[in-house]
Chain A
């Protein structure tokens, strides 16, 4: 592990620099105003970018901290519960309006997005299929409900954003939820066939290893 890290250390340093650059870019007042000037960009550019930054930076933390944290995160449950709640709260229309006028809400929103990205990264693989299904089973229908609401509402749900912007975001949220569901199902399907193919082989290896010493004497 350490040798791999050392070998790729220059690349890793470049990657870290790129992530930090993305972070400072997203926090730059001009860029923030730009991404927050449209409801669609606010939710579909700023939200994912900050989550991505959180997800990429969290692995740079000392391994000891991470393994310590993971003892509180069995099956990724804590991380997935936390990010599901954070993302649900951040989808409330009032948050988008408040973030523009209340600096406290803006800071909390930015931190929560980074933390949600980090928590997802630390928890997703640990979660396994059942917990993942539970997470997506909550998040994706909720996203579709929110998307439908944004798309169908004749009134603006945010005072600071236009109706056409809101409707475009609504449609995009529905599409994203459906694509995410499809990708996950595809992933599950391919992993399953992969497992059934490798599982007997692993077992054979184990059996062979167990049998061998008995044959020896």
Chain B
């Protein structure tokens, strides 16, 4: 019985260890939870991506994000999206409204479409018009080269799947990027206030550095 007890204990330890590894020490049970947790400790640098969209001609994403006192709240969308992106759209509209009262323009908004085949210049412009996006605050863009898209989505763990109804399901969230072009925090698409305050605080930090 001693041998059985010992081997069962060894397996219990192995099970505990693997569960701790999978759940980030029992803090995250889903991939989305883990993504948000990990980024806090290990910011993710944006890969090399060229953006295109209304008012953005071949803008390098890293360059566009960079600057002392800058912070950007990014979301990933597709313009035909009937569900979660309308939450994101109206959320960004509220953020834009809140930012309009500010004197500095450190915090910017960026919506990136993960559907470059459908979302051409006119679709993006239409989306901007629909949500009354102010081009100085809120840029709407997609990748210029479709083959750079996967690298960007993978780096930020944005997962896009077929929703079975001709559209996409995706893990919508508010991604906060700092003035060095790094993803530093991820908020729920409903946590507008938190995301905005966090973006403001890192923009201020960046400005004083």
Interface residues of B in 1-19 (CB under 8 A from A): 1, 3-8, 11-12, 14-15, 18-19
B204 interface residue per 8 A CB criterion: no
* Shortest Cβ distance from B33 into A: residue: A94
Residue from the list B6, B14, B31 in contact with A94, Cβ < 8 A: B31
Distance of A72 Cα from B29 Cα, bound (Å): 32
Interface of A is mostly: helix
A141 shortest CB reach to chain B, Å: 17
Distance of A71 Cα from B29 Cα, bound (Å): 36
B171 pairs with A159, CB closer than 8 A: yes
Interface bin, chain B = 20 to 34
On chain A, the number of residues with a Cβ less than 8 Å from chain B's Cβ atoms is: 29
* Shortest Cβ distance from A163 into B: residue: B169
A122 shortest CB reach to chain B, Å: 13
What residues on A are CB-neighbors of B19 within 8 Å? 85, 88-89, 92
B164 interface residue per 8 A CB criterion: yes
B7 pairs with A98, CB closer than 8 A: no
Interface residues of A in 143-196 (CB under 8 A from B): 156-164
Distance of A74 Cα from B14 Cα, bound (Å): 19
B12 pairs with A94, CB closer than 8 A: no
B4 pairs with A72, CB closer than 8 A: yes
Distance of A156 Cα from B160 Cα, bound (Å): 13
* Shortest Cβ distance from B162 into A: residue: A162
Distance of A94 Cα from B171 Cα, bound (Å): 14
B11 pairs with A82, CB closer than 8 A: yes
Sorted nearest first, the 6 A-B pairs with minimum C-beta distance are A85-B15, A97-B31, A159-B159, A74-B4, A82-B11, A81-B8
Spell out A's residues near B (CB within 8 Å).
71-75, 77-78, 81-82, 85-86, 88-89, 92-95, 97-98, 108, 156-164
